[in-house]
Structure 1
Amino acid sequence: MKYIALIFILCCNIIQAQNSDVFNDDFIRKKVELMNDNSDGMIPFSYSPEFKRILIELVKIEWLEKAIKISDYYFPLFEEKLAKYDLPNDLKYLPILESGLNPKATSSVGASGLWQFMPSTGDEMGLGSNNLINLYYCPVANTDSACRYLEGLYKSYNDWKLVLSSYNYGMGNINKKIKKAGSRDYVDIYPYLPMETRAYVPKFLVIKYLVTYQNIYYDNNKKFKYVFTDLAQIKIENPTTIKDLAARYDLNDRFIRFANPQLLTEIIPKGAIIYITKKDPS
């Protein structure tokens, strides 16, 4: 028993040593440099003690690990929409920070969806809801609206750090801070930002790092059978139900609910856009 206990302790020490290596300053610095070399250059950054502190803080969060594991499903959709609007591919990491990739996420202040739109902004971007459909929860509608909104923010600020800060803090608030700082330079505005917004860009970069090196920091073997862009879009010609649609296309009704979080009830109204796997009707 003593030998078994000794072996167990040695194994635990080895595992702890291996885990600590991934938080070693030189290890992180080299990984950041490699990531920058393969990045689209949206926000180049370097290793810093703050980056390491946030990394250690975020890697412990359970919802973030779950979000990273589901990112393979949503990223092709994000990448397709970002390319459509000629936006940096790195913006695909933003909804992880915003919603944890929960399409039905609703914040304490009322923002909802993958990209977390406030009702006033969402309505302006063409989102909306009724008792059957909530487009704030629709991955496609929410993502397309986010891309158009981010496109507008970049035209206003021409600085991705300011764009991200505005996304978190609000355009009106950022404009007030620009006026107060007497500058449109992020470095000059930074001291006037609230703590949450100061941490927003660093957290965004850490999430990018964790997604890039997820196999180092997480046990991430689970893969989705589909990615969102594998799905076919259909328009409902006559009112139906999730159960009837599932039977018609030989699908699991749970999958239809998962792929279409915008559906609020079992009823699917005429004219609704629905996403299903690419199978012919049975």
Structure 2
Amino acid sequence: MEILRTLLIKLFLICCFAINGTSQEKIEIENRIEALNSINEIKVKLHPLVWNQIQKFSKRKSFPKTMGLAKFYFPLFKTKLKLYDLPEELKYLTIVESNLKTRATSKVGAQGLWQFMRPTGKSLGLYENQYINLFNDPVASTDAACRYLKQLYTQLGDWELALAAYNCGIGRIKRILKKTGKTTFWEIIQYLPEETRLYVPSFLAVQFLMNYYSDFGIKPYTFAIRYSDVRLNKAESDMRIDRSSFTNQREKNIFMFLNPHLKTLYIPKGTYYYSIKKPAIVDSRLILN
């Protein structure tokens, strides 16, 4: 344990030198973190693992696109998180989980923006049939994620532990806490699966990077559609969308982007779907989600 602590301290010092170059630059970074932590419930730490993840995410070629998508999806997330009295910064979890790809599917079968596994998603009311997949529905999956995150926090009383449980399961986290007698994520990090060890640092890194992206020379894509431009519709009868429903390919792309939960262009009676209230200019690079 002492050896691990010593190695982490050494790594921290190395990272600080690499990050800062000068003590003044270190002070500036610390000031940024302090400013961020003054308004957020989930605090960012200048830890070597966090900084490594900041470097990793900042170098992703897809990150400018992700930031453009964030401008669209984050108002939805903010509304839902506020409804459940949850920290707004939890919206950044979707970047760690899916890079804001609504149809993302992991190697182990987790789906959607919030990457729900089948059993967990079904327990929260998500389902899939031959026509729709609610795991891919931004609204339904976000509501499910809010309820699930609230459950985890209620049981663990700590957001870093709740996030770790979101990744590897609350049962495993509870067993580790009981076995070790520890109470924080950083105290049990060496007992966690490798993926989970980086999961919380990744979340904290994204939280920092999304607020200070300009320091890294990142320029977000422009995304003209706002979530407030989206209208929720309910099919009053069975509907079949075909080529004649769209005046051009762009309109079809927008429709498919707004409705990732639709598996076909057949919409059964009673199914909810989304459309644009008014015409919008869309960066086509963001539609191929």
Asked if residue 116 in structure 1 is aligned to residue 115 in structure 2, the reply is yes
Residue in structure 1 matched with residue 140 of structure 2 by the alignment: 141
- What does residue range 148-159 of structure 1 map to in structure 2 within 5 Å? 148-159=147-158
Aligned residues: 255
User: For the residues of structure 2 that align with 1:195 and 1:99, how far apart are their CA atoms?
Assistant: 18
Residue in structure 2 matched with residue 9 of structure 1 by the alignment: none
- Normalised by the length of structure 2, the TM-score is 0.81
Q: What whole-Å deviation, never above 9, does each CA across 1:91-139 have from its counterpart, x for those lacking one?
A: 0100110000001000111100000000000000000011111100100
Shift of 1:223: 2.1
Q: Is the contact between residue 132 and residue 268 of structure 1 (CA under 8 Å) also seen in structure 2?
A: yes
Shift of 1:172: 1.8
User: For the residues of structure 1 that align with 2:32 and 2:193, how far apart are their CA atoms?
Assistant: 30
User: For the residues of structure 1 that align with 2:212 and 2:236, how far apart are their CA atoms?
Assistant: 45
Shift of 1:270: 1.1
> Which sections of structure 2, spanning at least 5 residues, go unmatched?
1-20, 280-289
Task: State the AA in 2 paired with 1:194.
Answer: P
Identity percentage of aligned residues: 40
Shift of 1:218: 4.1
Residue in structure 1 matched with residue 287 of structure 2 by the alignment: none
Residue in structure 2 matched with residue 264 of structure 1 by the alignment: 263
The 3-state SS of whatever aligns with 1:209 is: helix
Q: What whole-Å deviation, never above 9, does each CA across 1:160-189 have from its counterpart, x for those lacking one?
A: 011000011111211221222134433433
Residue in structure 2 matched with residue 73 of structure 1 by the alignment: 72
Q: 1:205 to 1:187 in 2, by over 3 A?
A: closer
The 3-state SS of whatever aligns with 2:113 is: coil
Q: Is the contact between residue 74 and residue 228 of structure 1 (CA under 8 Å) also seen in structure 2?
A: yes
- What does residue range 191-270 of structure 1 map to in structure 2 within 5 Å? 191-243=190-242, 246-247=245-246, 252-270=251-269
Q: Is the contact between residue 59 and residue 65 of structure 1 (CA under 8 Å) also seen in structure 2?
A: no
Shift of 1:65: 3.7
Q: Is the contact between residue 67 and residue 220 of structure 2 (CA under 8 Å) also seen in structure 1?
A: no
User: For the residues of structure 2 that align with 1:36 and 1:192, how far apart are their CA atoms?
Assistant: 27
User: For the residues of structure 1 that align with 2:207 and 2:218, how far apart are their CA atoms?
Assistant: 17
Residue in structure 1 matched with residue 12 of structure 2 by the alignment: none
Q: Is the contact between residue 69 and residue 220 of structure 1 (CA under 8 Å) also seen in structure 2?
A: no
The 3-state SS of whatever aligns with 1:116 is: coil
Residue in structure 2 matched with residue 32 of structure 1 by the alignment: 33
Q: 1:172 to 1:246 in 2, by over 3 A?
A: farther
Task: State the AA in 2 paired with 1:125.
Answer: L
Q: Is the contact between residue 238 and residue 266 of structure 2 (CA under 8 Å) also seen in structure 1?
A: yes
User: For the residues of structure 2 that align with 1:119 and 1:95, how far apart are their CA atoms?
Assistant: 17
Q: Is the contact between residue 229 and residue 278 of structure 2 (CA under 8 Å) also seen in structure 1?
A: no
Q: 1:224 to 1:66 in 2, by over 3 A?
A: closer
Task: State the AA in 1 paired with 2:251.
Answer: N
The 3-state SS of whatever aligns with 1:276 is: strand
Shift of 1:279: 4.9
Residue in structure 2 matched with residue 12 of structure 1 by the alignment: none
Aligned-residue CA RMSD in angstroms? 2.3
Residue in structure 1 matched with residue 273 of structure 2 by the alignment: 274
Shift of 1:203: 1.1
Shift of 1:57: 2.2
> Please, which moves more after superposition, 181-190 or 206-215?
181-190
Asked if residue 181 in structure 1 is aligned to residue 183 in structure 2, the reply is no
User: For the residues of structure 2 that align with 1:71 and 1:270, how far apart are their CA atoms?
Assistant: 31
